[in-house]
A and B are shown apart, each in its own frame.
Chain A
Amino acid sequence: MRKKTLVAVLMTAAMACTLLAGCSTPTQETASTDTKTEESSDNSPSETTRESATIVDADKLPVKGIGAQITSDVKGNEEYKIGYIAKNTTNPYMVAQAEGVKKAGADMGFTAVTQAPSTADSVEEQVKIMEDMIQQEMDVIIVHCADSNGIMPGVRKAEEAGIIVITIGTPASEDTFLRTGVDYRETGVTVATKMAEALGGKGNIIILEGPPGAANAIERLEGIKEAFAEYPDIKIAASQTANFKRTEGMSVTENLLQKYTDVQGIIGMNDESALGGVQALKAAGRTDVLVAGFDGSTDATSAVESGDMFATYNTDPYGSGYIACAYAVNYLNDGTEPEGKFIPFPTAANDPLIMVETVENYKENIAWWKVIQ
């Protein structure tokens, strides 16, 4: 009887081996796209396989305005079906993006279906939702990928089924019809340049990094470094991770302020970590340090208003969802291709910086979080 057990175990092992052998192969021509980064060893998107950003002037975009004010003249010729897949249902950013797609559906006259994985940030579930949307015969699938590589099986299936795929924020590892949302690098350049100017091109900066490996935070940091390279008297005194979290932003800043007293600026890779920096500065009784973050969130807006924060960047998930639909509908109507494979929105051309001069207007008219309140 023991032998039988052994046999069973061996059988299972043997079966695992059949996976390896592979009896017949799927179409080999598609294989070539897959093998080109054979030894690629990390998850950070490799720029070589994707087109770089095409900046389109604000007046040439298919939309007008930004944030809650966004509008468009685009109208669907037919009743199209557009599906949107968020990363989760808990982050206000994602909720606002879904709202942007829904608003576009109402304005441009298409059926908008918005979905998100029930397990937050599960790319495996995103692929499932994509497969189900293919069954629904969507015309377009817009996805905020939870993972660049993990989403690819879904992207391939959708494209094989003749469905246009648009990514927002995190791109798929290969170019799709279009990528929009902010260019993270550009957001870093814009914010850092503004800070360097405000500091008169001189000062020591603390950076609160994002989670290790998070591509958006890495690209943002590259942008910041690139901007500071123009100012030889600006030094990055310390750069440590705060994992996008307020509590960690606070504790990291507290610790760093012990060591570096001569600090003029703090940049958090998102608003939450920047706000943690603000709290730490308050606790230390420092009012002479400029703090900047990204996203233009509710709390960051208040902090800019009260003078606690120097600047934040309106990454406008609502408008990103909206503009993605505008490009999609334009294409479905008459085959108008976007100007490039990656058209960032918003960019510096859309005045995305929220500072003391612009915060009032932002809060009253533009803020993307207004749409989900």
Chain B
Amino acid sequence: MQKNSFKQTMKRVPPVAYMLVIIIVIFSFMDSHYLSFSNFRNVLIQSTPLMILAFGQTCIVLTQGTDLSLGAQVSFVTVFIVFLAQRGIILEAAMLIAVCCTMLIGAVNGLIVAKGNIPPFIATYGMQNIVNSISLLLTAGSSVYFSSFTYRIVTETTILFIPLMVWVAVAVFVIVWVVLRKTKFGTNIYGLGGNREALALAGISPVKCLIKTYAFAGMIAGIAGIITLCRVESGQPIVANGWEFQAVAATLLGGTSLREGKGGVTGTIFGVLLIQIIKNGLNVVGVQSIYQNAIIGSIVLAAIIIDAVVRIRAKE
């Protein structure tokens, strides 16, 4: 790594971070309730499930793929844990079993993508529908309920004024960061996106590596599912529908590229925060929900366009 001058450090900050600062300043002027510690904590709590999921999605995007089944996996985990718990399995054990299941789902995704050489978009879309159906079948379409105090331990225990669930996201971040930057597996993930031939030449099987990556993302989705369960204290078969796209958007906003195998989880944090801070801000300022999606869409597009322009300029 090069010596970090201040300018270089600034260059490494994804443009989305600047966008974030601008938006926070705007909202602060619009409403006096906005800029407070309790609202800051509020945003962190609200961001957590998507944040964790987006870390998993980032790994997939780095391999030039997208996993559209991740949202469905989150919903499935919330439902499946309750389903098992209702049948007498200890909630905590049910959580572990569910995470193992999503790892398996991820592995199957990876197998289909790698062995069949099928575009990840299609393969995981198929899986999304299957997993969705399973969740709906397990619950007969409605939500399911199992009462436990564990949920509130996760959402209400605070360490340094921040709830435990946010610390879980921090831990997942650290793990994903270490895996991507410090392990052979991580290097291979970047290799899958950057240069598959080189990977093959180095004697590494892209098939195995893809399977592992999707399983890894599945496991992270499982953790996101546990957190979501604790958030809504019930199994909701469609709770996370669409999160996979938000996770892709957050990943791309964070500067991870779909084409080059470049980027990482640090940028993803800013991507998720951007989306959640806009949503929270619009709610706190009191913008009607029908306008909110349009505003979020516009800001996301603007951020992506600014990002692209900055990159083109940098290349010139």
Contacts and interface: CB of A to CB of B under 8 A. Distances in A.
Contact of B33 (A11, A124, A135): A135
Given A16-B95, A117-B289, A135-B38, A43 B143 contact: yes
B39 to A, nearest CB: 5
Contacts of B147: 34-38, 40
Nearest to A7: B183
Given A35-B149, A124-B228, A153-B155, A19 B290 contact: no
Contact of B183 (A1, A23, A132): A1
B299 interface: no
A8 B168 contact: no
B242 A43 contact: no
Contacts of A128: 46, 279-280, 283
A16 B233 contact: no
Nearest to A86: B289
A31 B289 contact: no
Contact of A116 (B86, B182, B240, B289): B289
B154 interface: yes
**Chain B interface bracket (under 10, 10 to 19, 20 to 34, 35 or more):** 35 or more
Contacts of B279: 128
A19 B148 CA distance: 13
A303 B258 CA distance: 54
Given A11-B175, A123-B239, A137-B33, A212 B233 contact: no
A10 B283 CA distance: 39
B184 A4 contact: yes
Contacts of B152: 26, 30-31, 34
Nearest to B219: A12
B260 interface: no
Interface of B: 31, 33-34, 36, 38-39, 42, 45-46, 49, 86, 92, 95-96, 99, 139-157, 159, 164, 168, 171-172, 175, 178-179, 182-185, 212, 216, 219-220, 222-223, 226, 228, 231-234, 236, 238-242, 279-280, 283-284, 286, 288-290, 292-293
Interface of A: 1-2, 4-5, 8-9, 11-13, 15-20, 22-26, 30-31, 34-38, 40-43, 89, 113-119, 121-124, 127-129, 131-137, 147, 149-150, 152-153, 173, 211-214
The 4 closest A-B pairs by CB, nearest first: A213-B142, A1-B184, A132-B283, A20-B92
